[in-house]
Amino acid sequence: MSYVDDVIEEVIRENPNEPEFHQAVREVLDSLRPVIAENEEKYRRDALLERLVNPERQIKFRVPWIDDNGQAHVNTGYRVQFNSAIGPYKGGLRLHPSVNLGIIKFLGFEQIFKNSLTGLPIGGGKGGSDFDPKGKSDREIMSFCQNFMSELCKYIGADTDVPAGDIGVGAREIGYMFGEYKKIRGMFAGVLTGKGVPFGGSLARTEATGYGLLYITEEMLKCHGTSMEGKTVVVSGAGNVAIYAIEKAQQMGAKVVTCSDSSGWIYDPNGIDVAVLKQIKEVERKRLTEYLKYRPDAQYREGRGVWQIPCDVALPCATQNELTLDDAKQLVANGVYAVAEGANMPSTAQAVDYFLEQGILFLPAKASNAGGVATSALEMSQNSERLHWTFEEVDHKLREIMVDIYHNIDEAAKQYGKEGNYVDGANIAGFLKVMNAMNAQGIV
Ligand code: NDP
């Protein structure tokens, strides 16, 4: 068997019951076959791939917290410090009942290559907890965040590991965690990104993932002789990534007709009203059914279904494996031209293969949603130099980074005979930099 196949088999054997982690590893290693084939014996001797797929460190801890009735609860916290070859570990914290070690490992593994693609000096990590923030009071959220940080603070630092937000973790949660870190450590350090602007946060961080998704999509369309102008767009999700993807798509002249949450979805043929969406999700923290109160002509349907709406561009921005092979077939049958992932691994492996077979322009998450972590790295730079850049400055850098990522992955795909396959292009381009750093640093 080839070295790549040996390592995939070992990952499956050594990490049972972690299907998302297997999926992420298989996708990356499959793309790397031509790179590994160039020097297979050396890489095997150096156990390069084994070192790549095994996190440098995995931390699992108890998080006790007390609800508003005085009842104590215990959740599990995780931080996986995956790879620090090119910089301090960097990656978000996810609070969702579905979180387990396998989910955090899949996200942390993806993060290595995404962070490398940004061109900035950041390694890969990820963390979170199976705590469910839904329906919790503000005080309960604070209690959880403080208890989570009272343990996590032992393992992170501005030059070692800098977490950020992800599903269920926005500015409010980062604020509570930052406050607790500062209290325990007695220092004001850039140990988290996504902070509020008055205490070291970067302007444009909130918008960055969604805006970045549209900057790279626009660049890809431009290189194929078209643009977002006049396109019909279908978006899933109604959180941070989805909201700012919708906003930027509309600024570029597209019409976005859907959004969703875990209960149901909205079809608004006149175009989603993003101000209403922000009011419901960012201010009131309510369910999407509320949308109809403001926009009675829109339709709300229970469950999932955004992918059945005909569109030119599809942007999955909710969660992993939310776009299946059947959804991909429906999108293609309806004439979709481009798909760009805002969420992490939102398309199943079969859906990705189908898009590529059908010649659909497809941008994988590790390239297309890298704008969030790139801007987090810009926040780290601002914290280090104790300066604060303007919105325009950060947004301009973000756009440049996303445009560069597109050209890097396009180039890498061409170099290895995979022209137009941005999945392989992203995996290869992300890997090469990490591999060179790992080789230079010896077997550590
Ligand atoms: P949010 O928590 O702000 O929003 C998540 C959205 O997805 C909500 O609308 C949520 O609905 C929906 N959702 C979550 N889980 C499920 C599920 N199991 N089934 C259906 N819908 C679901 O998270 P973000 O917008 O920050 O993150 C979305 C995706 O983007 C994630 O994959 C994340 O890893 C990725 N990402 C985020 C970045 C960031 O900067 N925030 C950076 C890079 C990637 P509900 O409210 O009902 O749960």
Q: What amino acid occupies position 387?
A: L
Which amino acid belongs to residue 209? T
Q: What is the mean pLDDT of residues 84-92?
A: 98
**Which CATH number is correct for 55-188, 3.40.50.1700, 3.10.28.10, 3.40.50.10860, 3.40.1160.10?**
3.40.50.10860
Q: What is the mean pLDDT of residues 177-202?
A: 97
* Centre of ligand 1 from the C-alpha of residue 11, in Å: 27
Catalytic residue among 90, 105, 114, 126: 126
Is residue 289 within 6 Å of ligand 1 at its C-beta?
Answer: no
Q: Which atom number of ligand 1 is nearest to the Cα of residue 373?
A: 42
Rounded Cα gap, residues 363 and 351, in angstroms = 13
- What's the pLDDT band for 435 if we cut at 50, 70, 90? very high
Confidence of residue 86 (pLDDT cuts 50, 70, 90): very high
Residue 318 in contact with ligand 1 by CB distance below 6 A: yes
126 in catalytic set:
yes
Per residue in 270-320, pLDDT tens?
A: 999 999 999 999 999 999 999 999 999 999 999 999 999 999 999 999 999
237 in contact with ligand 1, CB cutoff 6 A: yes
DSSP assignment letter at 201 = P
Mutation probe of ligand 1 site: the residue of 100, 130, 166 with most atoms within 8 A of C-beta: 166
The answer to whether residues 110 and 81 touch, using CB atoms and an 8 Å cutoff, is no
Please identify, by atom number, the ligand 1 atom nearest to the C-alpha of residue 261: 11
pLDDT score, position 441? 98
Q: What is the pLDDT of residue 179?
A: 98
User: What is the pLDDT averaged over residues 203-232?
Assistant: 98
pLDDT of 387 = 96
Average pLDDT, the chain: 98
Q: Which atom of ligand 1 is nearest to the CA of 168?
A: 2
CB of 239 closer than 6 A to ligand 1? yes
233-244 pLDDT, tens digit per residue, is: 999 999 999 999
Report how far apart, in Å, the C-alpha atoms of 388 and of each of 159, 385, 391 are: 19, 9, 9
Q: Which atom of ligand 1 is nearest to the CA of 107?
A: 34
Distance 261 CA to ligand 1 centre (A): 9
Q: How confident is the model at residue 24 (pLDDT cuts 50, 70, 90)?
A: very high
Q: How far apart are the CA of 166 and the centre of ligand 1, in A?
A: 7
User: According to CATH, where is 3.40.50.720 located in the chain?
Assistant: 208-368
Three-state helix/strand/coil letters over 374-390: HHHHHHHHHHHCCCCCC
Q: State in Å: Cα 380 to ligand 1 middle.
A: 23
Q: How would residue 252 be classed by pLDDT, with cut points 50, 70 and 90?
A: very high
Across residues 41-63, what is the average pLDDT?
A: 98
Q: Where in the chain is the domain with CATH 3.40.50.10860?
A: 55-188
> Is domain 208-368 given the CATH code 3.90.400.10 in the classification?
no
Residue 272's pLDDT is 98
Pick from 405, 384, 144: which is nearest to 376 by CA? 384
